[in-house]
Structures are given as C-alpha cells and as structure tokens.
Structure 1
Amino acid sequence: MRDPSQEPADPRRSVPRTDDVLAAPALVEAAERLGGRLVKAAVREAQQRCRDGEIPPSAVLDATLDALPAAATALHPVVNATGVLVHTNLGRAPLSSAAVDALGVAAGATDVELDLATGRRGRRGRSALDALAGAVPEAGGVHVVNNGAAALALVACALTGAGHGGRDEVVVARGELVEIGDGFRIPELLESVGARLREVGTTNRVRLDDYRAAVGERTAFVLKVHPSNFRVSGFTSSVDLRELAGTEGPHGPVPVVADIGSGLLAPHPRLPDEPSASAALRAGADLVTASGDKLLGGPQCGLLLGRAELVERLRRHPFARALRVDKLTLAALEATLVGPPAPVVRALATRPEELRRRAGHLRDRLVPMLGGAVEVGVVDTEAAVGGGGAPGVVLPSVALTLPVRYAVPLRDNRSAPVVGRVERGLLLLDLLAVLPEDEDALVVGVVAADEALRAAGTPADEG
C-alpha cells in the first residue's frame, strides 16, 4: 500500500490562488489603471510559469508586475535606430513632448467646438487652424482632414462631378501617377471619388503645351504631384508650378492643385529640392495638399491650404464630414505648430559631428556593460528622410555597430525594443532618428539583448 506522505507534492497546490494575487495592493492599483482583464491575464501567465517550474510561488506577484504593460495597449514604444526619420512601419513622425502633453489635455471634455465666452457653438478646432494659417501666411484659407490621401480625395470630390457643369476631368502628367504606399495609387484614389483622369506627356517627359492641349470644357483642375519615393533622371522634363499657374480654360483660369506630400511648410536648407507649401503657393498653386505626420512632425492628418474661397468650398462639402479629424489630432497639430521643434525637425538639424560625439559616449557606456567581450564600433552612415519625402536625398549620419546576432533579440525585447538595420554583415544602430532622451532606452535594450543571447547559450564572441 502506498504511503501518500512519500509521494511528490502536486506543484499546482503551491501556486498562489488568483484571487489572492489580485488582492495585492500593487495589482489593485494596476487594475484601476489598465483594466482587470489585462491584469488577470498577466497573473495567469505568471501562475503557469510557476506550474512549469520556471519561478517559485513567492515570485508570482513580481513576475505579474514585470509582465504588465505600461499602458492598456498592445503597441510597444520602439527606439528607431533604422536611419529612416519618417518610418511608416514605426508610425511615421514621433510627436514632440508638447504634442504629447496636448493629447492629455484633449483627452477629456474640451472647448473644441464651443465658444466659452458666448456659450454657443464655435468654429471647430479654431486654435489649431489659426496656428496652421500662421505657419503658412501665403494661404488664404486652411483646413485639416484625417490624412494626406483624404485631402486629395476631398479636392477631387469637391471640384468635380455634379454641380460643376460637367467638369470632371483632372489633368495630370503620366509621370506623376504615383503609388503612395501599401498598393494605393493616385489614379485609383481620384477615380474612386468620380474624377476622370486626362493624362498628359509620357512617363519621363511632359511639356507646358501638353497641359494646354489637354485643358478643355471638362477640365476641373490641373494636378501637380510630387513623386514619392523615387526620382526619374536622364532624358526628362517637367513643368513647374509657375508655368502652370493661371492656365486658361474655356471658362477662365483653371485651378492648379499641388500635392506636395511630405508636409514641409517652408523651404528647408538640407532639403533644397523638396517642395514646401509656402513655396508652392507663392509659385501660383491655388490649393496645396500635404501630410501632417511626415516632415512637419505632427499627428496623422491631411493639410489643405490655398485660396480662401476654394478652401471654404472644400470645408462645406458633404464629403468633408466623413474626413473630419478628432480633438486629439487638432490638439497635437496645434502643439506641433506652436511648440518646440518636433523630433523630425530636431533630427534634420543634427550634424554628423554631434552624432559622432554621442556615438562615442554610448560606446563607452556599453563596452563595460557587455563585459568587454563584444565589439561595439562607430561608423559613418547614410540616413534618409523616408515616408515619401525627399527621395534620393542622403543625410550624413553616424551609427553604432554590433554583431548581427543582436538584431532579433533587440527587436524582440518587450521592455525596450530597438530596431536597427543590417548592412555589410553588421547590425547598425543609426543615431540620426534617436533623440538624446532615447539613449538610455537604447542602452537598456542592448544590455537586455546581450543577456538574452547569453541565456540562450550564444558565445559572446560569436559573429
């Protein structure tokens, strides 16, 4: 007959009860902040680790706390060490601290559409729109929608179709019918809202006479699109805005719309060939469309700037309601425009010598933390704007180098993910898009990746 006292204890009996763990003050506070579902899931994960023998029963509470996210979202803050300033896969432009603070203010009840002095309905987002108008004084009117593609779609919808005397054609150069990302294309976007395309020129050459010959009874507007993510060189010719401005049709001047894409509001010395909203308006564009989350460095939104009567027509069009931005976007946009320089703007102003100094300091911090067994280098690199802005422009930069084996554990680290790029057999952590205040997170990520590699049995000197 078996003696029960001699049988091994069931490990499940030693696992703390769910209710007992959830009653801990730290988890009660976490449940108020994150919600009970997330906290309970973390408790169950820690209990399973205890059942599997990974941690003792006394460590279940600490393991739960370590597994809790900083906020109730599956998104992770990431250190962008790719060398691409406006990285679409990483959410494009990171917001300034002022914009982040503005989001907190806008999260509650606000006067976004209320005149506090009169108690009556006010102009929606008036302070953000005033800030945008102040940043581009050349614009007679401004409006904001939910992204850059929406801005162009609203223009096409409002200026073509019913009520415009049959004028439904958009005259555009064949070489400017670009794909704007994720398989979406300018011609398909325009046609989806009822516009008809009148293509002129060839893929590499277009002349002013091509536009003039195409403008007719059905012309609604002439569209000038800044090519995104590519350049055509060699036997090429294009027509600039100054030549297109004032194009005459059978019913008088035809509106000229410039889709500049990247959201640069004024010319930038490091991006001499990148079109800006102010320059486009001075050149004669009647309307300019752009994105707010690229070179402007703000939240995702679409900017519309130009002649007051045209902008007002867009604002009052029924389709504009479907593209309306929320109070969070308006608050972040205003803070981006009136606050300190956004991270993208700061990065563009950073010189290679400053990056080299920072890289040397980071290397000096990391070498002893990695036990001196890992080679950490500093190399000159070439970064890019990204996000469809300044195609072909090379931004001199500096990067830390690590063995390639660090790439995956650096990305896969839950506490401080760092995304770099692999080049010439090395992992490069490009510093141009890494703000000084993000350097501690980069160091934490590298050290955590090193610990993960050692725990997996990867030799310290393995390439």
Structure 2
Amino acid sequence: MSDPRRQVPRTDTLLADPQLAAAGERLGLGLVKDVVQRVQQRIRDGEVSPPHAVDAVLAALPSTASSLRPVLNATGVLVHTNLGRSPLSAAAVEAVVAASGTTDVELDLATGRRGPRGEAAIAALLAAVPAAEAAIVVNNCAAALALVATVLGQGRELVLARGELVEIGDGFRIPDLLVSTGARLHEVGTTNRVTLADYRGALGPETGAVLKVHPSNFVVRGFTREVDVADLAGALDGTGTPLVADIGSGLLQPHPRLPEEPDAQGTLAAGADLVLASGDKLLGGPQAGLVLGRAELVQRLRRHPLYRALRVDKTTLAALEATLRGPLAPVQEMLAADVDGLRVRARRLAAHLAAQGVDAAAVDAEARVGGGGAPEHPLPSAAVSLPASFAEPLRRGAPPVVGYLDGDRTLLNLRSLLPSADDDLAAAVLAVAAQ
C-alpha cells in the first residue's frame, strides 16, 4: 500500500492555484500558507480528500486579514464593551476608509505648510458642545483623566469624594490611575455622603484641582448625599482651583430617554472648567477620550509632552468628525427606537422563523445602555425567544450572534440591532436550526 502522505498536495502546488494566489494577495501569503498547512494535516487525518484541498482551504480562510469577526449584538446592551462598544455609522466607516491612505491630517494644502492636527474634528466637537471654549482628543477617557491628573495634579492634591473612588471594570480603578501620575489624593466625605463643607475644608495651597467622577455601573441609594457641579463651581469661584468632571458616557447633550445621565453641555454650563468623556459610548463614535472646557486649561494640556503620547491617529479623527457631522450614529438610533416598532420587528421575525419550523416567539424584554451609562435605567425592548440550545451554536455561527439565556430560553434582543440586521439574524437562526 502506498504511503498516504504521498497523496497530500504539495504546499507550493496549492499556493500556485489561481484562487489561493488571489487570496494570498488579498490576505497575505503567510496567512494563506498557515491555512494550507492545516488543511494538509486534515488530509493526513482522513478528514479531507486530496481533490478537495483547494475548496477546504478557501472555506477555512477568513474574510479579512484581521482575526476580529463581525458579530450580531442581540444582548440588548447598546454599548457592549466586550463587543467593541459603539458600532460606527456608515458615514464614519467611509471616513475611515478615505483617511486610511495619505491625507492632509497636518498639512495646509493652500499654503503647503504644516497645519493644525484634527482641526475639523475639533471644530465639529465644539459645534456640538457650544459651552466649550476649546477641546482636545486623546485615545480614551482614561487617557484624558491621566493627562489632566498629570498636568493639574502632579506633585499636588486632587480633591474628590470617597464615594467616587470607583472601579469601572476588569480591575481598573480610578484612584490607582490618579496616583500613578504623581498626584496625591485628598479624599473627602464618606462612602455614601459628602457635603460642600467637606470640599471647602480640603482646599489649600497644595490643591491642584477638584475632581468629580460620575459613578459607572452602580448607584448608591438610601442615606446618601452628594454635591452637584453647580454648587461646587460656586464654592470654587475666585479660588483659581479648576473643577474637572469626568462624565464618562459620552453624552454631549441632554437626552430625553436618559434624564439622570450627565451631559457635556449641561456640565460645562453648570460651571465645570473641564469635562472628560468617551467617544465610543453614547456619542457613538470611535474609541477616544474627549476633553472640553476652558481654553486656557485645554491649552495647558495640549502643550504637555504626555499629550503627544496620547493623541489619536488620522482614522480616529476622521471617524469622530463624521460621527459628529453625519447622520445619527447606530447607538443613537438604537436608543431612540420606538418600543412598538421593536415589537413589530420581533413578531415579524418570530413568524418567519416559526414558518420554517423553529420554536420561536416574540416577547417583551428590557435593554440597557451599557458602558457604565444609566445603570438603573432599563430601556423597554422586544426580543425573539428561542430554545436555550440555540445560544452556543449561534455564537459559533457565521456571522456569530450573541444573545443571552433567560431561564430555559435564548433571547435575541432587538434594541441592540438595527432593522437592517434582521435578515442576517433570521438566516443565522435558520442555519443553526438546520444543523
């Protein structure tokens, strides 16, 4: 009997196939070669017949050279950190593609001289938040906080309430970040109560700034007290001590669906000197840290050497500008979705699936903002209910669908999906049902 290894097609023979050669030009030769070698092993193991080697390689190749896979977010969490937070709008995606080549990111084409970096994105940000005199953009909100703490607090004291010494996920703690910059923390109040007198008593010649951090993912109820931005700003008036508010969620203007969520415009109008926020949460843009407020303070941050290490690239600037100037971002559409419309979608999808023999039903559900925003403010929603056995194969499907288990059912919550995804969602469920 001949050695079965002789039947395995040679690597160079497979790579020379026109279809695989084209894939190599698109994805990279190394990636295609790795898949070829895996298919060759499958041939040795008897899982693939030699004549079908090319087809097996093509089937195993990813759609892009990145390992990241598009996922249908049916969790009902609009800003899901594990799923990349906010999906970009079509306008933002087009802007990223346009900016991916050679651009005029720091060149004034009229004069041929160096121009200001990200000028258009900053102008769009200031137009969206008129209370801000100036703004800069860094790579995330933690970077914004680190920059502020370095410039205003290094070797000095940052005053903040004990109830705002928060951990925001994956072990990341705000006080650890602040101390790492060289700032000293002056904690005031108790876990559940802080007064204006506590803040006043902490002020002194060593005070670099007063910091307010909006709680993320939790709410303290009961015997509590806090000092709002307007009262703090009044107490600090004339002292020369900056008031910095980290609002986190990226809400630039008040939103009727989230009446208790702080926004950048309102916080600055109430008297904050600087506001910090995320670009990839409720704003619906790319990962970015936004710093808005008094021009003199923003300029101090921009001049510090650390800013250079934290600034964003051309694609982020392009996506941010397009998000601010373009149509509603997907997360904003999801937030604004009418619950009756969600129910109509759920009934339509469930009826279509049931007609194909799937045990599906439309049910009411609750959604969440996510990303630390509005933790006690559920959003009414609708979902498609499936047997619990669908959850895992849906996650492993193409495209993957991430829902959640509720008792003995898998729920696919529609508030975190735009209507344009309904056909893909139905197809993914039917593919699992056919297995």
TM-score interval, normalised by the smaller of the two chains:
over 0.9
In structure 1, give the amino acid aligned to 2:344: R
2:96 pairs with 1:103: yes
Query: Aligned partners of 2:75, 2:193: CA distance in 1, in Å?
Result: 35
Distance 1:69 1:160 in 2: 47
* Contact 2:72–2:399 (CA under 8 A) maintained in structure 1: yes
Q: Give the aligned partner of residue 190 of structure 2.
A: 202
Counterpart pick for 2:179 among 187, 191, 207: 191
Q: Counterpart amino acid of 2:298?
A: V
Asked if 1:428 corresponds to 2:411, the answer is yes
Contact in 1 for aligned 2:160/2:188 (Cα 8 Å): yes
Matching residue of 1:245? 233
| Amino acid in structure 1 at the alignment position of 2:325 | V
Q: 1:214 to 1:283 in 2, by over 3 A?
A: same
SS of residue in 2 equivalent to 1:198: strand
Displacement after TM superposition at 1:224 (Å): 1.1
Q: Secondary structure at the match of 1:449?
A: helix
Is this contact kept in 1: 2:154–2:184, CA < 8 A?
no
Q: Output aligned runs, 1:322-401, within 5 Å.
A: 322-369=309-356, 372=357, 374-401=358-385
Cα distance in structure 1, aligned partners of 2:110 and 2:329: 32
- Deviation digits for residues 345-378 of structure 1 (CA, Å, limit 9, x no counterpart): 0100111111111112222332344xx1x31111
Return the letter of the residue paired with 1:398: A
Cα deviation code 1:401-423 (max 9, x no counterpart): 1111111111122x210111111
1:10 Cα deviation after fit:
4.3
* Alignment partners' CA distance in 2, 1:37 and 1:406: 35
Pair 64,444 (structure 1): closer, same or farther in 2 beyond 3 Å: farther
SS for the counterpart of 1:179 is coil
**The one of 30, 37, 44 aligned to 1:51:** 44
Q: Contact 1:266 / 1:277 at 8 angstroms: preserved in 2?
A: yes
The match for 1:218 is 206
Contact 1:298 1:342 in 2 (8 A): yes
- Work out the CA distance in 2 between the residues paired with 1:276 and 1:103: 26
Kept in 1: contact 2:351–2:361 (CA 8 A): no
Segment of structure 1 superposing worse, 112-121 or 355-364: 355-364
How many equivalent residue pairs?
435
CA contact (8 A) 1:404 1:427 kept: yes
Give a deviation string over 1:66-104, Cα, whole Å, max 9, x none.
111111011111111111111111111111111111111
Structure 2 residues not aligned, in runs of 5+: none
Q: CA deviation at 1:199?
A: 1.0
Corresponding letter in the other structure for 1:235: F
76, 87, 91: which one aligns with 1:94: 87
Seen in structure 2, the aligned counterparts of structure 1 residues 150 and 406 have a Cα distance that, compared at 3 Å, is: same
Equivalents in 1 of 2:370, 2:154: separation in Å? 35
Q: CA RMSD for the aligned pairs?
A: 1.5
- Match runs of 1:23-422 below 5 Å: 23-161=16-154, 168-248=156-236, 252-369=239-356, 372=357, 374-413=358-397, 415-422=398-405
- SS at the partner of 1:12? helix
Query: If you compute each CA radius of gyration, which structure gives the higher value, 1 or 2?
Result: 1
SS state at 1:199 partner: strand
Give secondary structure in 1 for the equivalent of 2:370: coil
Residue 444 (structure 1) aligns with: 427
> How many percent of aligned residue pairs carry the same amino acid?
62
- The runs of 5 or more residues in structure 1 that have no matched partner are 1-6, 163-167, 455-463
Question: Using the alignment, how far apart are the partners of 2:396 and 2:151 within structure 1?
Answer: 46
* Distance in 1 (alpha carbons) for counterparts of 2:38 and 2:239: 70
Q: Is the CA contact (8 Å cut-off) linking 1:154 and 1:314 kept in structure 2?
A: yes
Over 3 Å counting, the alpha-carbon distance change for 1:106 and 1:446 in structure 2 is same
Secondary structure of the structure 1 residue equivalent to 2:376: coil
Within the alignment, does 1:19 sit opposite 2:6 as a pair? Answer: no
Structure 1 stretches of at least 4 aligned residues deviating more than 6 Å after TM superposition: none
**Structure-1 separation of matches of 2:173 and 2:65:** 35
Instruction: Give how far 1:220 is off.
Output: 1.1
- Is the CA contact 1:247–1:254 (under 8 Å) kept in the aligned structure 2? no
- CA drift of 1:118 comes to 0.7
Amino acid at match of 1:16: P
How far apart are 1:313 and its partner, in Å?
Answer: 0.7
